[in-house]
Amino acid sequence: MTDQPPAYSGPTRVLSGVQPSGALHLGNYLGALVKFARLQHEMDTFIFVADMHAITVWQDPAKLADQTREIAAAYLASGLDPAKATIFPQSAVTAHAELAWVFNCVARLGWLDRMTQFKEKSGKHKERSSVGLYTYPVLQAADILAYKATHVPVGEDQKQHLELTRDIAAKFNHDFEAPGFFPLPEPLTQGPGARVMSLRDGSAKMSKSDPSDYSRINLTDDADAISQKIRKAKTDPEPLPDNLEALAARPEADNLVGIYAALSNVTKEAALAEFAGKGFGTFKPALADLAVSVLGPVGEQMRGFLADPAEIDRILAKGAAKARETAAPTLEDVMKLVGFWRA
């Protein structure tokens, strides 16, 4: 006998999103976009543009809609197919905000106080941060659970937020006596691109908000910019080792080998086997050629999609309609479980 509540028994579904808060970089591409395109062939897939998350820090209203189209273009250029995956803007589906409110009342302050991303993003000016930045992971739980998604492809930086989603789902199921109502979603973080680090500092993650453009490779960088950034990436004078243990002690080298492995779809061991004993004078040009050959066509396709914004809008509107339809019955059930008035 076990006292575990019954597990969720509904269908599997993938959900994830990216914020339209700046140019996408290699970390977003390897940690998220590539996985989305792969998973659409395996499960029912919902991918949104996280514009409600983006406004947790200031966004220029005159630019936000275009930034949303840019993320949609990046999705399409990375291989997401609107005939397979549902692609939509978060703010076009009110269920996210409605469910987030209920979850704000389920999540505990102590849980949110532990979120390291809030601490990093609010920095020294916590009291001047938006309340939205603080409750961001609660909205994230609503994004996922409005669709009863079971699998969430994200970079490793998002693992803690996924844990919070699981805690919220379990507490909701318990408090409202609805065992198995929400799934406890699994993060899909595996793979060599799960944590791409800054090209200037192997201990900081590659990020849109890093003030140095040399810290990241943007999806829209041309071949010259990509090569130059890799040439200038911080390294050390030693040749590459022949084992992962020795590599792990050298964060910048480890990062570049990880990027090489992820872009060529091999393991880090295999990448090391190719370059062990060789210096960065040999490795960096090989990495630059590889990065240009993979990212060049992505940037080109993005520009192609962006040349037809009306088509992007059609895809987003169609996706939003499907997303609304999918989330509606779950929201209705939540309203009833909570005990809200219904005519």
Instruction: Choose, by CB under 6 A, the member of 5, 104, 133, 157 that binds ligand AQP.
Output: 157
Verify binding: residue 154, ligand AQP, rule CB under 6 A: yes
Closest C-alpha to 334, from 179, 144, 138, 178: 178
Q: Which is nearer to ligand AQP, 93 or 331 (CB)?
A: 93
Q: Which is nearer to ligand AQP, 158 or 235 (CB)?
A: 158
d(CA 281, CA 22): 32
Instruction: Choose, by CB under 6 A, the member of 49, 196, 230, 259 that binds ligand AQP.
Output: 196
Least CB distance from residue 106 to ligand AQP, whole Å?
23
Region of 88-96, 126-134, 149-157, 162-170 interacting with ligand AQP (CB under 6 A): 149-157
| Catalytic residue chosen out of the listed positions 84, 159, 171, 208 | 208
Binding mask 5-34 for ligand AQP (x = CB under 6 A): -------------xx-x-----xx-xxx--
User: Could you confirm whether 121 is annotated as catalytic?
Assistant: yes
**To which residue do tokens 């699981």 refer?**
166
User: Could you confirm whether 208 is annotated as catalytic?
Assistant: yes
* Amino acid in position 264: S
**To which residue do tokens 């978060």 refer?**
90
Pair 40, 80: CB distance under 8 Å: yes
Phi, psi of 76 (to 5 degrees): -65, -40
Cα four-point dihedral sign 79, 83, 85, 90: positive
Edge-to-edge strand list for the sheet holding 186-188 = 85-89, 44-49, 13-18, 151-153, 186-188
CB-based closest residue to ligand AQP: 31
Count Cα neighbours of 19 within 13 Å in the Cβ-side half-sphere: 18
Report 32-51 residues binding ligand AQP (CB under 6 A).
32, 50
Helix, strand counts (H, E) of the chain = 15, 5
- With CB under 6 A, what is the number of residues at the site for ligand AQP? 21
Region of 206-214, 221-229, 271-279, 307-315 interacting with ligand AQP (CB under 6 A): 206-214
CA angle 95, 100, 124 (to 5 degrees): 135
Q: Which is nearer to ligand AQP, 28 or 235 (CB)?
A: 28
Verify binding: residue 151, ligand AQP, rule CB under 6 A: no
Verify binding: residue 203, ligand AQP, rule CB under 6 A: no
Verify binding: residue 191, ligand AQP, rule CB under 6 A: no
Distances (CA, A) of 29 to 71, 210, 274: 11, 17, 24
User: Could you confirm whether 63 is annotated as catalytic?
Assistant: no
Rg (the chain; Cα; Å) = 21
Verify binding: residue 92, ligand AQP, rule CB under 6 A: no
Residues making contact with ligand AQP (CB under 6 A): 18-19, 21, 27-28, 30-32, 50, 154-155, 157-158, 194-196, 205-209
Active-site annotation, residues: 121, 205, 208
